[in-house]
Amino acid sequence: MRFIIILLFMPLFFICSKKAKIDSTTEVYPSVVEIIFPDSVENNETVLAVFEKYDVSKSVYQWKNHLVIYDVIDTASVVGDILATISELYPEVEIKHYEAPFYVFDRKSCDDNETVEEWDNIIMTANLVDNPNMQQEYMDYHAAQAEQWPEVIKGFCNANFQQLLVFRNDRQLMLIISIPKGENLDELNPRTTENNPRVDEWNAIMAKYQEGIVGVQPGEVWVVFAPIYNLKIKPEK
């Protein structure tokens, strides 16, 4: 089973959030900050203390030595302060900021455009292939999707996805699928292809543009970040 932006079947981890709005006409999307630690870093309490200081400790996810903050952060200065503090503690850390999504799906595109109050967010990452021409093709497909591939959006609506955001930093993609709190993506996802063969066609096309980031298993493409309950900075060997 594959997810529409081309996600291979995998275990899923969720965290609850609410839709972020300033007013009835302006919607604010969370941003993504990825912090990649060297293998030697193991001071868990120090890292968590930084997140707690800036009130983002409930918005932190982990995959191996990669941490992700996914939240609506009020000001750019707060992001800068967090990153400066982490960089001072761990000079070898690599930090990536995914400021705004280049692709947005929300329920406004659906016949039933109502959204639920609370969501579970699933955060995943993969790379685009190391080919600039193919990377541009990928971006072009997504820019034209609403007009040329409306069946994909129909699939998202049918699966009751509340929102789907895709971010990019260089070759790396961050994908966030938001579903109603308590629902199961494994159960919702098959609805994207029900009586909708164009979704399978889209998936097959997207597959050639994506590959796993450093550290994935052979053949693995998309990996899932787990919400932090027991932080381990040093990746498992």
The answer on pLDDT for 10 being more than 50 is: no
Distance of CA 217 to the CA centre of its chain: 19
The answer on pLDDT for 223 being more than 90 is: yes
Could you tell me what percent of the chain has a pLDDT over 70? 81
Rounded to the nearest integer, the mean pLDDT of the chain is 84
The answer on pLDDT for 58 being more than 60 is: yes
Give the pLDDT confidence of 69-117 residue by residue, as tens digits.
898 866 567 778 888 888 888 888 898 989 899 999 999 999 999 999 9
The answer on pLDDT for 121 being more than 70 is: yes
Give the pLDDT confidence of 146-195 residue by residue, as tens digits.
999 999 999 999 999 999 999 999 999 999 999 999 999 889 999 999 99
pLDDT of residue 12: 42
- Of the pLDDT bands very low, low, confident and very high (cuts 50, 70, 90), residue 5 is very low
More confident residue, 134 or 73: 134
Instruction: Using DSSP bridges, classify how beta strands 31-36 and 60-63 pair: parallel, antiparallel or unpaired.
Output: unpaired
pLDDT of residue 116: 93
- Of the pLDDT bands very low, low, confident and very high (cuts 50, 70, 90), residue 232 is low
Phi, psi of 164 (to 5 degrees): -140, 120
pLDDT of residue 50: 84
Q: Taking the model in full, what pTM does it have?
A: 0.83
Minimal CA–CA distance to 106: which of 176, 181, 211, 16?
A: 176
**Beta bridge partner(s), residue 128:** 210
Minimal CA–CA distance to 227: which of 160, 154, 167, 176?
A: 176
**Beta bridge partner(s), residue 173:** 126, 168
The answer on pLDDT for 237 being more than 60 is: no
More confident residue, 186 or 43: 186
The answer on pLDDT for 122 being more than 60 is: yes
The answer on pLDDT for 1 being more than 50 is: no
Encoded amino acid at 216, one letter: V
Calpha distance 237→22 (Å, rounded) = 44
> Domains, the chain, ranges and CATH?
2-19+101-225 (no CATH), 31-99 (3.30.70.260)
3-state secondary structure the chain: CEECCCEECCCCCCEEEECCECCCCCECCCEEEEEECCCCCCCHHHHHHHHHHCCCHHHEEEECCEEEEEECCCCHHHHHHHHHHHHHHCCCCEEEEECCCCEEEEHHHCCCCCCCCEEEEEEEEEEECCCHHHHHHHHHHHHCHHHHCHHHHHHHHHCCCCEEEEEEECCEEEEEEEEECCCCHHHHHHHHHCCCHHHHHHHHHHHCCEECCCCCCCCCCCEEEEECCCCCCCCCC
C-alpha gyration radius of the chain: 18
Calpha distance 139→159 (Å, rounded) = 24
